[in-house]
Amino acid sequence: MIIILTNNNDNLRADGRVFNELRPLKIEAGVLEKADGSAYLEIGGNKILAAVYGPRELHVRRIMRPDMAVIRCRYNMAPFSVGERKRPGPDRRSVEISKITADALRPAIFLEKFPRSTIDVFIEILEAEGGTRCAGITAASVALADAGIPMKDLVASCAAGKANGNVILDLSEDEDKEGEADLPIAIMPRSGEISLLQMDGHMTPDEFDKALDLAIEGCKQISEAQKNAIKDRYGEENG
Ligand code: UDP
């Protein structure tokens, strides 16, 4: 049986996008003087800073690896980033997102080049409007490249999902909150490898397949913007 997924609302979403359209995206590399690498990203109403320190020697024996670097991530939402002031400091959600961010970035980095070292990634959500984990990974990847850390590829991340019965790309905060499902992914576009896939909510297997295809296409577009951000900073030959 072939299920044809149609869009009910003349292809228009509350913010005017069609089902397979990303929110307006802007990425800038190298925005901070003091970090080894940095990036600023806006997608829709999200405003995100990522900063990287390292690779540098790690003295914490408990987590140090003699054969490779470790990557440590801290995802943090500023108290003023959401409608209702968020209590400062880590919570269960930010600890989880920090972990999955490190997991999503790790396979892209040539960690074995830096034994006994750490690469520290800080993601600050200045303003949040849905999809911050993906936007944070996308920004962090550009900051890693800006820090000169050798990578197989720039990890690109975005979500697809289902809202109002439609399978759609890059859910806004309202679509995420009111919708039926959210499927954030991260990929390395050169190999097609998926380094993050999470899902909450409910979709049929066909809807899942369509959402995954949409998210992969979205990541490919984001990947182009990442490469352009690096090119803008360092010139064509290093992009
Ligand atoms: N959000 C919020 N307060 C919080 C956490 C999240 O207002 O303490 C909002 C924010 O806009 C975020 C959205 O809810 O982007 C969706 O959050 P989720 O946990 O699904 O993660 P995200 O989609 O940002 O990766």
For residue range 62-83, list pLDDT tens digits in order: 999 999 999 999 999 999 999 9
Looking at the predicted structure, is the pLDDT value of residue 5 above 90? no
**Partners of residue 29 on adjacent β-strands:** 39
Looking at the predicted structure, is the pLDDT value of residue 39 above 70? yes
Contact in structure between 169 and 217 (CB atoms under 8 Å): yes
Q: Which residues line ligand 1 (CB under 6 A)?
A: 82-83, 86, 93, 128-133, 173, 176
Closest ligand 1 atom, CA of 130? 15
Distance 78 CA to ligand 1 centre (A): 12
Residue whose CA lies nearest to ligand 1 atom number 1: 82
Percent of the chain with pLDDT over 70: 94
Looking at the predicted structure, is the pLDDT value of residue 1 above 50? no
Distance 231 CA to ligand 1 centre (A): 31
CA–CA dist 88, 112 (Å, integer): 35
Q: Could you tell me the CA-to-CA distances from 33 to 125, 130, 135 in Å, in that order?
A: 19, 28, 22
Buried b (16+ CB within 10 A) or exposed e, 176-212: beebbbbbbbbbbbeeeebbbebbeeebeeebbebbb
CA–CA dist 96, 31 (Å, integer): 27
Question: Strand runs (DSSP E) across 88-197, as ranges?
Answer: 117-127, 156-163, 166-169, 181-188, 193-197
Distance 206 CA to ligand 1 centre (A): 26
Looking at the predicted structure, is the pLDDT value of residue 90 above 50? yes
Residue 130: its pLDDT value, please?
98
Cβ atoms within 10 Å, residue 219: 27
To test the ligand 1 pocket, which listed residue (82, 137, 168, 170) has its Cβ within 8 A of the most ligand atoms? 82
Lowest mean pLDDT among 10-14, 107-111, 201-205: 10-14
Looking at the predicted structure, is the pLDDT value of residue 42 above 70? yes
Confidence of residue 237 (pLDDT cuts 50, 70, 90): low
Residue whose CA lies nearest to ligand 1 atom number 12: 130
Q: Which two tokens stand for residue 57?
A: 């020697």
Distance 132 CA to ligand 1 centre (A): 7
